[in-house]
C-alpha cells in the first residue's frame, strides 16, 4: 500500500470514528497567545509543585489519555500512555467556557520505541489579562478524543462557588436593584466573606435569575456569565442563585466584580444591576481593587517604578496593621522582590536604567524601595529584605555631601538638587536601620548627623511646613508644600524620638503635624488636599501617591503620642474617602473630598489604601 493511500484511508477512519460520536471537534477560533502568571506557558512538568488528576482518564483505543493539574502553580498538562510511535497528545484551552479554544497546545508525539509522552504545562488563569480558563487533554491515536474540560471552582479560603445563601454571614445590597416587567432583580453580598448571589422577586414561574462575574471591573465576563442561572418554580414568585466568590487567590485573581441579571419568562430581553465588588472591610476592599492592577509575572504595578515601591509598602502596611498575618500577601512581597532586584534597560521599569538592587540614577527612587523592603522585613522577618534595605541605603549615603550646604543628600547622581524628599527618606532609612540592626552605631550616628542638618537646613519654613527643596545658594526655595515631604519629616523625627528618647525630635514631629492639619496648604475642610487637587487641576502620576505617604507617617506619630487629634484626623480622611471618593467597584480617587475632576488609577488606589489602613488600625 502506498504511503499516500495509507494516509487517505487513515483520514477516512478518523473521520468515521468522529462522526460515530467519539468526539466532535469544531475548528478552534484562534491561535494561542502565551500566558504568563507566575510562570509562562510551556513550563516543564518536572517543575510542577503537585500532580493531581481533576477529570477521569479517557481510554482511546487502548491508550490512556490523562489531564494533570498542579493547583499551587495553577497550571495543567496532558499525557498519553500505552501508546505507539506517532500517537499525539495536546491541550485545548478556552477562555469562554468551551465555546472556542486555543487548540493543539504543547502537542507532543510519542517518539521511537517509547509508549508514552506528555505536553508542557499551560496556565489555567491569566491574571494579567483578567481571564480564567478551562483546559482539557486531547489525543490522536487511530482516532481523536478529549477529556472533559477542567474548570476549577473559585474558592476564597473556605468560601467557594455554589454555596447556599442561607450560610451567608450577612446580606447587603451594594447597588440599587433593577426592574423588568414588574420583577425586581437585586444583587446581594455577604460582605464578610466576599460572596455574592442574585434574587428575583415579584415574578412568576419560568422567570430566571443569574450572576455575571468579571475580573476586569465589568469590561468582560466570557467565562463567568450566567452563574447559578435558575428559574422561579411553579407556584412561586421569587428565587435566588447560589453564592459565588469574588476572589480567586489560587488563580491569583483579585477584585472580582459581580452583577445580578434576570429575565421574565415570556420575553427574551433581560436586565442587570450595576457591577459591584464586596467590601469585607474598607481597607480589604481597597487592597483587592489595588491587586487587580498588579502584574503577577513581572511583579510590579506597570508603568511607574518608585510608585510601585510605595504601592507595595501600602499593601504590606495593610497586611501588618490590620492583623492579616496569614501570609496571604507574602507571595506578592516575594514576587516583587525576586522579579525586580536584577538589571533592566531604560524604559523597562524606569525611564533610567535599573542597575540591580533597585538602584538607578534617581537617588530617591532607590530610597523608596529601601522603605518597602524594611516594611517587608518587619512583616515577614525574612533577613534578605533587611539586607536589601542596607544595600540601598548604603547607595543613598554615597550622595551625602558636606561640600554643598554643609550636608544633605543629592536628589540625583548628577548632583543638581538637594531636596526634601531625598533627605526625608535618608533620615527615615538611617534611623530605621539603626533600630533593626542589633548593636549598630554607624547608622545611628548618620541619622543623628542628618537630623541636625535637616533642622538647620531651612527646608522647614516659618509656618512649620516643608518646602520642596533648597536653592543653589542653600536657601529654602519656597516651592510647593507637598504632603509627602511633610509626612516623611514627621515619620523620620518620630522614629528618631523612638530611637533616642530625645524630646526635641518628638516636638519637631508634632510641630510639623500640627502645621499640616491646620494649614490650607495641605488641609481644606478637614480633608488632606494637595495643591493639584483644587479647582480644575490634575495631579501627575507622582503626586497621586503623596497623600498616602503623609498618612503613613502621621499614623506613626498618632501611635507614638496617643493623640486624639491626630486619630480624629486620620478617621476623617478614611470616612471622607469611603463616603465621597469611592465607586461601587471600590475604586478610590485622587480627591479625598470627592470633588471633580477626579482621577482614579492604581496610584490613587494605593494612596487611599494607606488612609483606610491607618483608620482601621485605630
Can you give the length of the chain in residues? 618
- If 0-12 CB within 10 Å is exposed, 13-18 middle and 19+ buried, where does residue 501 land? exposed
Domain that holds residue 71: 27-152
Please tell me whether residues 139 and 226 are part of one structural domain: no
Q: Is 602 within 8 Å of 311 (Cβ atoms)?
A: yes
Report the pLDDT value the prediction gives residue 32, as an integer from 0 to 100.
72
In a domain, 9, yes or no: no
Same domain, 127 and 168: no
CATH number of the domain residue 286 falls in: 1.50.10.20
pLDDT of residue 618: 81
- What pTM does this model have? 0.92
Does residue 521 share a domain with residue 493? yes
266, 289: one domain: no
Number of domain units in the chain:
3
Q: Select from 152, 167, 194 the last residue of a domain.
A: 152
Q: Are residues 186 and 167 in the same domain?
A: yes
User: Residue 289, Cα to own-chain centre: how many angstroms?
Assistant: 7
pLDDT at 15: 34
pLDDT of 31? 60
Taking all residues of the chain, what is their mean pLDDT, rounded to a whole number? 93
Looking at residue 591, the DSSP 8-state letter turns out to be -
Query: Is residue 575, in this structure, part of any structural domain at all?
Result: yes
- CA separation for the pair 315, 290 (Å, rounded): 9
Q: Which helix (H) or strand (E) holds 198?
A: strand 195-201
Beta bridge partners of 528: 523
Half-sphere exposure of 270 (CA within 13 A, CB side): 18
Whether residue 84 is found in the same domain as residue 146? yes
- Provide the pLDDT for residue 13: 36
pLDDT at res. 322: 76
By C-alpha distance, which of 41, 67, 39 is closest to 53?
67
CATH number of the domain to which 76 belongs: 2.60.40
Residue 16 lies in a domain: no
pLDDT, position 408: 98
Tell whether 573 and 611 lie within a shared domain.
yes
Residue where one domain finishes, among candidates 104, 123, 152: 152
In the predicted model, residues of the chain with pLDDT beneath 50 are 1-29, 325
Integer angstrom CA distances of residue 80 from 61, 116, 270, 614: 12, 5, 45, 55
Q: What's the pLDDT score for residue 4? A: 42
Last residue of a domain, one of 106, 124, 152: 152
Same domain, 376 and 420: yes
The phi-psi region of residue 194 (left if phi > 0; otherwise alpha if psi is between -120 and 50; otherwise beta) is left
Amino acid at each position: 500500500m502506498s504511503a499516500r493511500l495509507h494516509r487517505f484511508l487513515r483520514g477516512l477512519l478518523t473521520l468515521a470514528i468522529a462522526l460515530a460520536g467519539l468526539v466532535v471537534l469544531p475548528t478552534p477560533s484562534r491561535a494561542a497567545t502565551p500566558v504568563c502568571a507566575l510562570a509562562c506557558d510551556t513550563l516543564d512538568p518536572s517543575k510542577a509543585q503537585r500532580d493531581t488528576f481533576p477529570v477521569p482518564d479517557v481510554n482511546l483505543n487502548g491508550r490512556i489519555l490523562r489531564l494533570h493539574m498542579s493547583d499551587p502553580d495553577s497550571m495543567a498538562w496532558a499525557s498519553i500512555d500505552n501508546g505507539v510511535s506517532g500517537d499525539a497528545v495536546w491541550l485545548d484551552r478556552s477562555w469562554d467556557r468551551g465555546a472556542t479554544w486555543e487548540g493543539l497546545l504543547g502537542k507532543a508525539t510519542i517518539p521511537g520505541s517509547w509508549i508514552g509522552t506528555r505536553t508542557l504545562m499551560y496556565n489555567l488563569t491569566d491574571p494579567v489579562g483578567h481571564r480564567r480558563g478551562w483546559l482539557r487533554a486531547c489525543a490522536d491515536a487511530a482516532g481523536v478524543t478529549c477529556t472533559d474540560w477542567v474548570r476549577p471552582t473559585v474558592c476564597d479560603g473556605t468560601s467557594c462557588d455554589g454555596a447556599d445563601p442561607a450560610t451567608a454571614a450577612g446580606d447587603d445590597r451594594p447597588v440599587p436593584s433593577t426592574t423588568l416587567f414588574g420583577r425586581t432583580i437585586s444583587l446581594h453580598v455577604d460582605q464578610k466573606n466576599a460572596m455574592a448571589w442574585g434574587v428575583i422577586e415579584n415574578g412568576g414561574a419560568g422567570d430566571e435569575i443569574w450572576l455575571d462575574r468579571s475580573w476586569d471591573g465589568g469590561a468582560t465576563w466570557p467565562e463567568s456569565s450566567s452563574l447559578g442561572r435558575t428559574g422561579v418554580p411553579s407556584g412561586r414568585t421569587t428565587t435566588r442563585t447560589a453564592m459565588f466568590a469574588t476572589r480567586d487567590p489560587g488563580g491569583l485573581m483579585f477584585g472580582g466584580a459581580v452583577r445580578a441579571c434576570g429575565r421574565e419568562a415570556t420575553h427574551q430581553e433581560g436586565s442587570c444591576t450595576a457591577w459591584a465588588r464586596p467590601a469585607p472591610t474598607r481597607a480589604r476592599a481597597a487592597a483587592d481593587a489595588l491587586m487587580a492592577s498588579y502584574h503577577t509575572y513581572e511583579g510590579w504595578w506597570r508603568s511607574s517604578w518608585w510608585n510601585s515601591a510605595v504601592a507595595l509598602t501600602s499593601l504590606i502596611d495593610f497586611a501588618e496593621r490590620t492583623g492579616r498575618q496569614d501570609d496571604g500577601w507574602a507571595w506578592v512581597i516575594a514576587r516583587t522582590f525576586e522579579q525586580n532586584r536584577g538589571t533592566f534597560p531604560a524604559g523597562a521599569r524606569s525611564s533610567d536604567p535599573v542597575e540591580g538592587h533597585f538602584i538607578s540614577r534617581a537617588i530617591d527612587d532607590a530610597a523608596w524601595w529601601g522603605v518597602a523592603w524594611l516594611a517587608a522585613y518587619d512583616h515577614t522577618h525574612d533577613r534578605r529584605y533587611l539586607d536589601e534595605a542596607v544595600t540601598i541605603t548604603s547607595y543613598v549615603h554615597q550622595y551625602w555631601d558636606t561640600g554643598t550646604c554643609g550636608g544633605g543628600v543629592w536628589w540625583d547622581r548628577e548632583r543638581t538638587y538637594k531636596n526634601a524628599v531625598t533627605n526625608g527618606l535618608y533620615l527615615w532609612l538611617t534611623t530605621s536601620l539603626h533600630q533593626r540592626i542589633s548593636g549598630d552605631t554607624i547608622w545611628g550616628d548618620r541619622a543623628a548627623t542628618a537630623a541636625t542638618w535637616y533642622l538647620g537646613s531651612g527646608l522647614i519654613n516659618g509656618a512649620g511646613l516643608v518646602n520642596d527643596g533648597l536653592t543653589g545658594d542653600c536657601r529654602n526655595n519656597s516651592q510647593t508644600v507637598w504632603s509627602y515631604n511633610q509626612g516623611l519629616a514627621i515619620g523620620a523625627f518620630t522614629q528618631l524620638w523612638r530611637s533616642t528618647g530625645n524630646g526635641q525630635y518628638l516636638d519637631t514631629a508634632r510641630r510639623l503635624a500640627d502645621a499640616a492639619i491646620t494649614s490650607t496648604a495641605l488641609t481644606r475642610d478637614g480633608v488632606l488636599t494637595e495643591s493639584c487637587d483644587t479647582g480644575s487641576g490634575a495631579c501627575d502620576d507622582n503626586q497621586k501617591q503623596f497623600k498616602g505617604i503623609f498618612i503613613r507617617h502621621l499614623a506613626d506619630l498618632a501611635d507614638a503620642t496617643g493623640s486624639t487629634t491626630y486619630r480624629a484626623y486620620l478617621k476623617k480622611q478614611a470616612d471622607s474617602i469611603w463616603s465621597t471618593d469611592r465607586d461601587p467597584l471600590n475604586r478610590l480617587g485622587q480627591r479625598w473630598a470627592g470633588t471633580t475632576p477626579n482621577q482614579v488609577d492604581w496610584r490613587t488606589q494605593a494612596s487611599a489604601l494607606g488612609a483606610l489602613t491607618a483608620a482601621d488600625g485605630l
